[in-house]
């Protein structure tokens, strides 16, 4: 057995009914909650500047919230909120997204074949109601995720989860699973209070009825608790007075507000918001004077997809059509739509993830090859319909602008394209429902391990949407098996690169752009770091009085 790490005390699906506001009374009681709110609005209360300035912080982003039930959460806004309310067994430090570290666990061991993992809980940790976190809570939480049939349920598929004693849990994966520590960092694997969730309809199967309760009430051990939820407008968190984990939250109250990116910029300039997450590319270079910028290529892949099932389109599913589209695209021009630190996607594994291809192996334009492939496929006899969501811009990159540019570029190769902009809900329903001929989409990882991106391989989750079956390319499937079962990280990295290379050569998915994640913030705010899974960990945000140039008092 290999021992991995000990927690360093100094380190760091039914959708919610919208339009209804829920008021959540925190453990301190209604009186204390009202007192806290009142104090946050007071400018002349005799306290120091730092005390007043850490009463609250407003983080604005474009909401995509569907649920705050951690086992069902899959959108970034929901993950950002649940990351603050719930602990997971493992996490990542802000400055290292390669190696998972213990969080609610104090450490873990793994067998040499990476099929048996044993996690020891950090002794003395408690939920927000004061009850202790035990192995029973861990087993219940992970088995609930397995059993309810949520989007993230396949992450723990076929794993056996056992309690060994009050503070020890064993997970047996059945096959080598080097990605498990990374999987256990995602908010979907958060640990909830078994007794509280069961008392409010929670089960470990599809009959689970706790989502409504968890949409408005905290059942975690994290540094914050839910106070107010309006899924269309605002999520308010308050500091958990009983939190005793390794993080050191600074702000008494964190307010997530739904705002388009133009509003975010205005509110940064006026002081109505202190952090703006997910700015558009042009806005990131035109921030108000004095506003800081954290910008980096994200782990999001923006890609084109064509069908593999002839029943969707005989011509579009022809591999020569795939070739024609790949060769026709001007990738540098597409990348420039993202600008400001966006990069061309070299393959279906992004640059920050192990196994990615170097930029020198990225697809390139070849108009003559595109025209030849288009003739071979009979593209002169049809018009391709390009569907895409027109009300969501991943990391500020405009899919509408990108789609229009793709239409022009393909026309230069003799490929006619009709644009089909749809609301996200309609577009994703058609995509997942096996009804989309050609799509412009994006993929943000479920967990920080390259195996998350293998979902695009034949027979895997995303590939099934366009009818690319398991037997379509056995050699690519073989690479998927090796990548998910090889313990040696060096060998595994080479296998993943081989998979990405084969996907570029022979797959129906065409990687386009890795947009930059741009976060604007006031200079007095510290600890601003982008995480591809939970966007931003608000418990890491701090306050530097020496860099506060705003008017004295609470913003």
Residue 372, pLDDT score = 97
Residue recorded with tokens 């989750």: 461
Residue 471, pLDDT score = 94
**Percentage helix, strand, coil, to 5, in the chain?**
30, 20, 45
Tokens of 541: 């945000």
Residue 50, pLDDT score = 64
Residue 66, pLDDT score = 87
Q: How far apart are CA 335 and CA 329, in angstroms?
A: 11
Residue recorded with tokens 């300035």: 53
β-strands 383-389, 416-422 pairing:
parallel
Residue recorded with tokens 């050609």: 438
**CB-based contact 239:230 (threshold 8 Å):** no
**CB-based contact 238:33 (threshold 8 Å):** yes
**CB-based contact 93:527 (threshold 8 Å):** no
Q: How far apart are CA 151 and CA 145, in angstroms?
A: 9
Residue 83, pLDDT score = 98
Can you list the residues of the chain whose pLDDT is less than 70? 1-50, 339, 550-555
Gyration radius (Cα) of the chain, Å: 24
β-strands 292-297, 96-102 pairing:
unpaired
Residue 301, pLDDT score = 95
Q: How many CB atoms lie within 10 A of CB 27?
A: 16
**CB-based contact 54:251 (threshold 8 Å):** yes
pTM (two decimals): 0.80
Residue recorded with tokens 């496929």: 377
**CB-based contact 189:183 (threshold 8 Å):** yes
């Amino acid at each position: 057995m290999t021992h991995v790490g000990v927690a360093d005390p100094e380190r760091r699906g039914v959708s919610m009914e919208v339009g209804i506001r829920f008021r959540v009374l925190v453990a301190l009681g209604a009186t204390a909650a009202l007192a806290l709110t009142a104090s946050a609005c007071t400018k002349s209360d005799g306290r120091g500047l730092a005390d007043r300035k850490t009463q609250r912080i407003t983080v604005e982003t474009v909401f995509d919230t569907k649920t705050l039930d951690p086992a069902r959460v899959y959108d970034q806004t929901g993950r950002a909120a649940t990351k603050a309310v719930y602990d997971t067994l493992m996490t990542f430090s802000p400055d290292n997204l390669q190696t998972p570290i213990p969080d609610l666990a104090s450490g873990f061991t793994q067998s040499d074949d990476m099929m048996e993992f044993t996690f020891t809980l950090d002794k003395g940790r408690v939920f927000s109601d004061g009850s202790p976190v035990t192995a029973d809570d861990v087993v219940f939480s992970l088995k609930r995720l397995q059993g309810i049939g949520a989007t993230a349920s396949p992450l723990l598929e076929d794993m056996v989860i056992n309690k060994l004693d009050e503070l020890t849990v064993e997970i047996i994966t059945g096959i080598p699973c080097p990605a498990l520590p990374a999987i256990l960092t995602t908010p979907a694997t958060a640990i909830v209070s078994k007794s509280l969730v069961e008392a409010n309809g929670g089960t470990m199967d599809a009959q689970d009825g706790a989502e409504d309760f968890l949409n408005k009430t905290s059942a975690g051990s994290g540094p914050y608790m839910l106070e107010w939820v309006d899924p269309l407008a605002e999520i308010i968190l308050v500091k958990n007075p009983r939190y005793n984990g390794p993080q050191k939250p600074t702000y008494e109250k964190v307010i997530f507000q739904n705002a388009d990116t133009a509003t975010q910029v205005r509110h940064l300039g006026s002081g109505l918001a202190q952090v703006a997450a997910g700015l558009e590319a042009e806005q990131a270079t035109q921030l108000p004077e004095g506003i800081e910028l954290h910008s980096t290529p994200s782990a999001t892949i923006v890609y084109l997809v064509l069908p593999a099932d002839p029943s969707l389109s005989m011509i579009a599913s022809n591999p020569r059509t795939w070739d024609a589209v790949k060769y026709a695209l001007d990738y540098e021009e597409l990348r420039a739509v993202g600008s400001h630190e966006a990069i061309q996607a070299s393959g279906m594994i992004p640059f920050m993830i192990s196994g990615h291809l170097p930029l020198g192996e990225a697809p390139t334009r070849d108009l003559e090859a595109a025209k030849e492939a288009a003739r071979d496929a009979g593209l002169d006899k049809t018009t391709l319909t390009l569907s895409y969501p027109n009300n969501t811009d991943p990391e500020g990159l405009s899919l509408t602008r990108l789609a229009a540019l793709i239409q022009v570029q393909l026309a230069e190769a003799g490929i006619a394209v009709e644009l089909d902009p749809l609301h996200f809900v309609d577009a994703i329903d058609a995509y997942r429902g096996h009804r989309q001929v050609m799509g412009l989409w994006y993929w943000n990882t479920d967990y920080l391990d390259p195996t998350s991106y293998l979902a695009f391989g034949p027979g895997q989750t995303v590939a099934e949407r366009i009818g690319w079956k398991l037997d379509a390319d056995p050699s690519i499937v073989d690479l998927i098996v090796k990548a998910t079962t090889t313990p040696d990280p060096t060998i595994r990295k080479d296998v993943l690169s081989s998979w990405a290379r084969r996907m570029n050569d022979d797959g129906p998915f065409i990687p386009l752009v890795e947009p930059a994640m741009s976060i604007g913030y006031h200079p007095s705010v510290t600890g601003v770091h982008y995480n591809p899974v939970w966007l931003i960990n608000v418990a890491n945000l701090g306050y530097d009085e020496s860099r506060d140039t705003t008017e004295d008092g609470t913003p």
